[in-house]
Amino acid sequence: MICNKEINIGNNCIIAMGTVIRDNDGGKHQILDANYINAKPITIGNHVWIGENVMILKGVTIGNGAIIAAGSLVTKDIPPHSLAMGRPAKIVRENIEWKA
């Protein structure tokens, strides 16, 4: 995890090896633009399953009960009880339930 602002992780989450969660684009390197924001909070809800080698970028919210497939790049919000996969991650199933 690389945190410059805020990363919130809910209860009963599974986060596999190789996962990167970063709420910023880097400390020393900045894009020189008046509208550029280097860091934004990340929120991962309760009972979320994050597969191996996933990367979660700044400003993302992952809803309760979601699954992020291995190797995915999460650049946008993932709704609750959704299965997302790919680079960038896209919703492939909704209204899912899972148990460990």
Picking from 10-14, 15-19, 30-34, 69-73, which range would have the lowest pLDDT averaged per residue? 30-34
- What b/e readout covers 79-92, taking b as 16+ CB neighbours within 10 angstroms? ebbbbbbeeebeee
- The terminus-to-terminus CA distance of the chain in angstroms comes to 23
pLDDT in the model for residue 80? 98
| Token pair belonging to 7 | 């990363």
Determine the CATH number of domain 1-25+37-100: 2.160.10.10
Residue 28 pLDDT grade (very low, low, confident, very high; cuts 50, 70, 90): low
The answer to whether residue 26 scores a pLDDT higher than 90 is no
pLDDT in the model for residue 27? 64
